């Protein structure tokens, strides 16, 4: 039987029992001392706490300018596929909720990477390329450089450049 592991039976010795008992006793003493200290420190104070009072002066009657209404500038998409250029921001639209297939290369036979959904915004980084009757643009999500692929221009609308 050389080279093989042989399991010996476990035996509880009197020293192991005594050591375990001592450890348990120490834990009980420590936790009891902690509880005693906690209850002693949580005694009710004999005097009520004093509140600090700060007096603020009243505001003066300085006239404030009247606000003028400002028109909110919201990006409005152009007609699908029109005005797309490298560096522009585009929004997916017109998929009827089916999503736009972003591919590894321009063309319908290229591998599908992921679906982009209506109202998602991307930045155009490359293109245009013509394939399978479509104009293709390489899009990258501004929030995730890894979310990128080629998309057909028929489902893209140009947005005005977002302001920080």
Q: What string of H, E and C letters represents the secondary structure of 78-90?
A: CCCCCCCCCCCEE
84-133 pLDDT per residue, tens: 899 999 999 888 889 999 999 999 999 999 999 999 999 999 999 999 99
pLDDT of residue 77: 46
Q: What residues does each domain of the chain span?
A: 89-159
How is residue 154 annotated by DSSP?
G
pTM attached to this predicted model:
0.50
pLDDT of residue 13: 83
Task: Report d(CA 120, CA 87) in Å as an integer.
Answer: 16
Name the most confidently modeled range: 26-30, 39-43, 66-70, 139-143: 139-143
Question: What mean pLDDT is predicted for residues 23-48?
Answer: 66
Regarding the domain delimited by 89-159, which CATH topology (the fold level of the hierarchy) does it fall under?
Answer: SH3 type barrels. (2.30.30)
pLDDT confidence band for 76 (50 / 70 / 90): very low
In residues, how long is the chain?
164
Lowest pLDDT segment from 5-14, 36-45, 100-109, 120-129: 36-45
CA-to-CA separations, 18 to 14, 24, 26, 30, 101, in angstroms, rounded:
6, 10, 12, 19, 71
156 or 81, higher pLDDT = 156
Phi then psi for residue 136, to 5 deg, are: -110, 140
pLDDT of residue 66: 58
pLDDT confidence band for 27 (50 / 70 / 90): confident
CA atoms within 13 A on the CB side of 74: 3
Q: Quick check: 71 pLDDT over 50? A: no
């Amino acid at each position: 039987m050389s080279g093989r592991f042989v399991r010996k039976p476990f035996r509880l010795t009197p020293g192991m029992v005594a050591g375990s008992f001592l450890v348990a006793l120490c834990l009980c003493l420590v936790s009891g001392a902690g509880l005693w200290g906690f209850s002693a420190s949580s005694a009710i104070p004999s005097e009520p706490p004093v509140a600090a009072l700060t007096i603020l002066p009243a505001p003066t009657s300085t006239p404030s300018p009247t606000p003028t209404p400002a028109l909110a500038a919201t990006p409005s998409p152009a007609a699908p596929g029109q005005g797309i250029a490298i560096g522009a921001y585009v929004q997916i639209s017109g998929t009827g909720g089916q999503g736009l297939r972003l591919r590894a290369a321009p063309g319908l036979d290229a591998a599908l990477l992921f679906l982009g959904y209506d109202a998602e915004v991307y930045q155009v980084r490359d293109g245009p390329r013509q394939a399978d009757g479509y104009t293709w643009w390489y899009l990258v999500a501004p929030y995730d450089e890894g979310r990128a692929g080629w998309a057909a221009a028929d489902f893209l609308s140009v947005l005005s450049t977002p302001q920080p």
